[in-house]
Amino acid sequence: MRAHAARPVRKGAAVAATRLAQRLAALLGSLLGGLFASGTARAIPLPEDKGEAMYHLYEGGGVTAQGPALLVRKSLADKVSLSGSLYVDAVSNASIDVVTTASPFKETRTAYDLGVDYVYRDASVSFGMYHSQEPDYTADSFSLDVSQEVFGGMTTVAIGFTRAIDAVEKKDSPEFSDYAKHWQYRLGLTQVLTARLLASANLEVVSDDGYLGSPYRVARVFGAAVPERNPRTRTSRALKFRLIGDLGERNAARVEYRYFWDTWDIKAHTLEGGYSTYFGEGWLADGLLRVYSQDKALFYSDNATTETTYVSRNRQLSTFRSYTVGGKLSYVYKRVPGQYEVKLNGSYERIQFDYSDFTDLRTGKPYEHAANVLQLYLSATF
Amino acid sequence: MQRLAGLSVLPAAALLAGCAVSMPEPWVKPYERERLADPIMKFSRDSLPDRHREHVFVVREGARGATGAQGGGCGCN
């Protein structure tokens, strides 16, 4: 930024205003030119051909969810990149809800998705389809995302849309059948700030319509268990800012913050920081810390003492905090430059959930539990 | 008084004009982005583990969205 020499005030201000207008016009022209450029030779590459195979485990609060997941991505004729993935979640649920109000159960969720990515000059277009199936819940969605690099590749603008329709059923109750529809709109901006610093901002709005609770869960009103009653619509917004910087000596650090608010009056803050460092021959280590805090939904009650239209004792809607500490190790198992690379990865996270207004009915104290999250996976680029 | 107000507007306008003129010029050239291309500078390195992690939190916390990931849909409620 240059300092301008002092000039007669009015003339100076007029000149500055004219220049400002000219420069704003130039900036707008450059933006639009970048968006609709046809003369630039540079093009962004297709996503790398890749395979991932993972075993994942979540264990905590009486719930164990584990299973395999696979992903393959391959480009065709350097024009499009196709991807497909399969994800299996075998759940054994003896959570506090289940233990205090129902019976433990086991079920398996299977999900798969297919995607197509297409790049043209500095723009990329992605289309995806997703299907998830469990005995009493089926979800289908499709999504479209477009991103465009501008300012000589220093800025990336992305917009996206997902439309999802779920079928909600209740085991052993064929008379129960409902739906949930979701609309997701997202907007993203990634900016190269310096040769060592990247920033991004993301906004996502999600609107839901339909059955937005669980047909098994109960609420407490005057100490008695009653089926929960949730509103049939919800709109949420989330705004996230991220910063990642190279610290030299093959180290990097990142920090991110997300603010969330919705029409159920939940407000949440998520703060996360991470550090990555290469060491030895082919090793990469990552560490992270995450703090999450939320206020309860308007109609959440541990034990309601008035009759209201909506009432829920879903602890996901309560006031609580969670703290996460985690680490990850990656090792380059085999690398043939220009041909392929195979990495072995392992990650572990420990989460502590502390609920402020969800009573453990077995002890009469606020509920809390810890959880372990494990991922073991192989990733290969070819 | 008017002169004082004008004096205070001038640096602000000059600052804005200065910003406006420098913004359209990419100040980090492609050949200066070697460090930015390193995998440790990516917000997401692998797709499956990130999706699993996102699922772990989204089914237990009230907040959702703005993860920076494309697509979506978690099949959970």
Structural tokens at position A197: 């610093």
Structural tokens at position A99: 């233990």
For B13, which residue in chain A has the nearest alpha carbon? A16
> What is the per-residue pLDDT for A128?
97
ipTM metric: 0.87
Q: Does the residue A364 lie in any domain?
A: yes
> What is the per-residue pLDDT for A138?
96
Q: Given an 8 Å threshold on Cβ–Cβ distance, is A69 in contact with B48?
A: yes
Q: Mind listing the pLDDT tens digit for each residue in A212-221?
A: 999 999 999 9
Helix (H, G, I), strand (E, B) or coil at A32: helix
Rounded distance, CA A382 to CA B23, Å? 38
Q: Does the residue B63 lie in any domain?
A: no
> What is the per-residue pLDDT for A284?
97
Q: Name every chain A residue with its beta carbon within 8 A of the beta carbon of B41.
A: 198, 244, 246, 252
For A155, which residue in chain B has the nearest alpha carbon? B26
Q: Which domain holds residue A165?
A: 49-381
Rounded distance, CA B11 to CA B4, Å? 12
Q: Judged by CB atoms within 8 Å, which residues 12-41 of B form the interface with A?
A: 13-24, 26-30, 32-33, 35-36, 38-41
Contact predicate A293/A342, CB 8 Å: no
Q: Mind listing the pLDDT tens digit for each residue in B46-72?
A: 999 999 999 999 999 999 998 877 654
Q: Does the residue B73 lie in any domain?
A: no
Q: Please report which confidence band the pLDDT of residue B30 belongs to, taking 50, 70 and 90 as the band edges.
A: confident
Question: In CATH, what number is assigned to the domain containing residue A184?
Answer: 2.40.160
Q: Which portions of chain A are predicted below pLDDT 50?
A: 1-15, 17-18, 21, 25-41
Contact predicate A367/A360, CB 8 Å: yes
**What total number of domains does chain A contain?**
1
Min Cα–Cα distance to chain A from B38, Å: 9
> What is the per-residue pLDDT for B67?
85
Q: How many pairs of residues across A and B have Cβ atoms under 8 Å apart? A: 237
> What is the per-residue pLDDT for B41?
95
> What is the per-residue pLDDT for A77?
84
Q: What percentage of chain B has pLDDT greater than the value 70?
A: 58
Contact predicate A46/A74, CB 8 Å: no
Min Cα–Cα distance to chain B from A305, Å: 23
Q: Given an 8 Å threshold on Cβ–Cβ distance, is A294 in contact with B62?
A: yes
Contact predicate A130/A142, CB 8 Å: yes
Rounded distance, CA A171 to CA A93, Å? 15
Q: Mind listing the pLDDT tens digit for each residue in A203-262?
A: 999 999 999 999 999 999 999 999 999 999 999 999 999 999 999 999 999 999 999 999
Q: Which domain holds residue B51?
A: 2-58
Rounded distance, CA A262 to CA A268, Å? 9
Q: Does the residue B13 lie in any domain?
A: yes
Q: Does the residue A200 lie in any domain?
A: yes
